[in-house]
Chains A and B, each alone.
Chain A
């Protein structure tokens, strides 16, 4: 019983940097947890790292063995007009989606956080639907709707679809931040004679900026990444970057795909990291 009264004491020696949470588990249990977690992280990143390594392979085949180090396939990629076109489409659709979602998301979050009204739960339930409904169903539904209206498949359809799928995430992110912003600031501005629009522009929006940025990037990445629904929505002859990769996979896995994958990882991981850093700087500047 004595060691149970001072549970922390017995565990100190094993603590090191990966400290054992003194009160929660025995040593062996913790070791197993640690080993499994390391394996899980390896499992999550090993395939991506292998792909990135292979993109520098000089060989003309996509797989092992490595025959030499070379930037050759990045060069080949830059000459590939189809890929560049797909990249442009993805960039345009992603930016437009992010812009629209951010504006709509801020408005919706303001309503949901700053006002009490009947039917709020229903709005919340509706907002979570695009997340829970399988993308395949969302995609078929919207496509069928257009078919029913006898409209052709255009880039506008793809844009609308991406907006629908990204919007809930943006609302969630902005909402979470808005809850943390005290109303006192807004009330002070209002009582000092600012109107609602001024109050929003001068007080709320600057405080909300980190979430706005995060929401924008999130919407962009969701749109930029999407393949499941986009395979249904893409107009004839138009590819986004992910659907282009999918089409290229039909023949075989080429080193060009690996190079493209490496570039995409660098873009989609680099962008939020830079964005996160910016947001932190902005938040610090306000204090």
Chain B
């Protein structure tokens, strides 16, 4: 359409088309974020009431209370560990889907997408049936007569991380798959003809070229894991909380809106910083690619 000189109406048209979307995001995402920042300086009066103010108490409390620091520390290592395990488990699967000559490759891809359609809460609670006292593992072990008492495997960090891997793994595999699929196969033939062994060709050609996908997958996994709070609520015990749980408790439990706002801003800034550092080196276009699958 309209490659010939742009009239004023023509120039306005894309903005007219975009306006409903921009208004939606502006009103529901941008404005709330600004208000949230403002709110972190309000004074909490208790019982869900607060007063407009310019009061740094919340920030002081955040920086001085070791409880919040413990929250950040726990979140960082749990999200980090989850990401590493996802990478280790997801890379071979992504590699297989990209490289296989299996005739029904589409089936492997569909099976990879299916978990995205299955309710998150069902996928999470299904781990209770695997790890719980009446779960599959304990049932099998008891049936084999190996144990008398059920092994406690649920409501600890192990089960929380298991649930998060289960939810994040498809993101990782998809990103790895997309980047491996984009590699020119001639490069591999060239490496092999020039005398590389299979593993050398993998190390020197395939792996480096797939790093952007691995990076994008890791970023997504880390950000999504670090923002989670429902998984620890379902699969964790009282000590297994992430930073998101602190936010949830402040807002929904104590009705301390200003503190909830402060903690949300902290979470946003920390994860935003990671995303910004990442995009400086890798660019965000990779993420789009993985998402539009």
Whether B102 contacts A17 by the Cβ 8 Å rule is: yes
Whether A23 contacts B230 by the Cβ 8 Å rule is: no
Q: How many A-B residue pairs have CB under 8 A?
A: 306
Q: How far is the CA of A62 from the CA of B132 in the complex (A)?
A: 11
Does A183 belong to the interface (CB within 8 Å)? Answer: yes
Looking at the assembled complex, report how far the CB atom of A254 sits from the nearest CB atom of chain B, in whole angstroms.
11
Whether A186 contacts B1 by the Cβ 8 Å rule is: yes
Looking at the assembled complex, report how far the CB atom of A120 sits from the nearest CB atom of chain B, in whole angstroms.
8
Hey, which chain A residues are within 8 Å of B271, CB to CB? 132-134
Closest to B269 in A: A137
Tell me whether A114 and B261 are in contact in the complex, defined as CB-CB below 8 angstroms, given that A23-B185, A127-B25, A134-B226 are known contacts: no
Interface of A: prevailing SS: helix
Taking a contact as CB atoms closer than 8 A, the residue among A26, A50, A171 that contacts B199 in the complex is A26
Whether A190 contacts B169 by the Cβ 8 Å rule is: no
Interface of B: prevailing SS: helix
Taking a contact as CB atoms closer than 8 A, the residue among A111, A137, A272 that contacts B117 in the complex is A272
Hey, which chain B residues are within 8 Å of A161, CB to CB? 28
Does B273 belong to the interface (CB within 8 Å)? Answer: no
Hey, which chain B residues are within 8 Å of A108, CB to CB? 17-18, 20-21
Number of chain B residues whose Cβ lies closer than 8 Å to a Cβ of chain A: 102
Hey, which chain A residues are within 8 Å of B192, CB to CB? 4, 7, 23
Closest to A217 in B: B117
From 151 to 201 in chain B, residues with beta carbon under 8 angstroms from any chain A beta carbon are: 166, 169-170, 173, 185, 188-189, 192-193, 195-199, 201
The contact sample of 6 A-B pairs, CB cut-off 8 A, is: A24-B188, A40-B89, A130-B29, A133-B271, A173-B292, A265-B119
12 further A-B contacts with Cβ under 8 Å, apart from A47-B166, A264-B119, are A7-B198, A24-B202, A41-B93, A47-B129, A108-B17, A134-B224, A137-B36, A142-B32, A144-B39, A232-B252, A241-B119, A242-B119
Chain B residues packing against A (C-beta within 8 Å): 1, 11, 13-15, 17-18, 20-22, 24-25, 28-33, 35-36, 39, 89-90, 92-93, 95-97, 99-103, 111, 114-123, 125-130, 132-136, 138-139, 166, 169-170, 173, 185, 188-189, 192-193, 195-199, 201-202, 206, 223-224, 226-230, 233-234, 244, 247-248, 251-252, 257, 260-261, 264, 267-268, 271-272, 275, 284, 287-288, 291-292
